[in-house]
Amino acid sequence: MSTTETQIGRTPSASRRSGRGAVLAALACLALLGGCNLLAPVGGMMENARREGSTEVEAEYTGLDNKSFAVVVSADRVIQAEYPAVIARLTTEISERVAKETRATKYVPGKRMLNFQFENPRWSTWTPTELAKKLGVERIIFVDLDEYRLKDPGNRYIWKGVAAASVRVSETDGRMGDDFVYRKTLLVRFPDKDGFTPQDMAEELVTTALSNRLIDRVSWLFYTHEEKNVITY
């Protein structure tokens, strides 16, 4: 067989091999594309599940077990004058939540604590040990409201709530009862997006949501709880 005949004779076989390779390559590409398309919804569902799920978070301070406590909330005169109901709400809600969720033996109810502060205006000059003795408790949770506002200074039209607090704990039945054994600084905001005005949200809604977020953050420090995996505050 001549060289020409040999070359001509081999051409159909090479073409078939080339065609099969192209088909296999095309099928592989389709399989890959189809796989990607099938996996995309699964990935989206997994992400949605993660966002909507929650995680158990342990308490940062556990020294309330088998102890009595009081929650003492304070703020400067400017905050008290502009938002007179905030101190009362924080005192009451945090006290009740912590009492319910921990193994404390007893606590000072919020209303009683507020009356005590009103009747003893110089309470802030007492040491933690002196204050605890008068209240009849072993632990004091101090919550200093460092900032509380619903709008940026000078802006009357856009809601931009901010609440910042310093949390401290005194173990007044110990040898160092006037020291703080635990400290934490917290900051929360509401709304989560800019641009909302009083026409979109009433002031009561904004201050309630903002204080609720701070109540959560302060209370959660003292007991194991569930937090959403994606949380905005």
Domain shared by 128 and 75, yes or no: yes
144, burial (CB in 10 Å: exposed 0-12, middle 13-18, buried 19+): middle
More confident residue, 149 or 13: 149
At CA 85, angle to CA 79 and CA 89, rounded to 5? 110
Average pLDDT, the chain: 86
How far apart (Å, rounded) are the C-alpha atoms in residues 120 and 76? 17
Q: Are residues 214 and 144 in the same domain?
A: yes
Query: In terms of domains, do 219 and 112 share one?
Result: yes
Q: Which domain holds residue 45?
A: 3-52
Domain count across the chain? 2
Mean pLDDT of 80-106: 97
Confidence of residue 175 (pLDDT cuts 50, 70, 90): confident
Across residues 120-136, what is the average pLDDT? 97
Together in a domain, 41 and 129: no
pLDDT-derived band of residue 50, with 50, 70 and 90 as boundaries? low
92 and 30 in one domain? Answer: no
Report which of residues 41 and 201 the model is more confident about: 201
Residue type, 67: K
Domain membership flag for residue 114: yes
- The structure's pTM equals 0.79
Q: Are 97 and 32 part of one and the same domain?
A: no
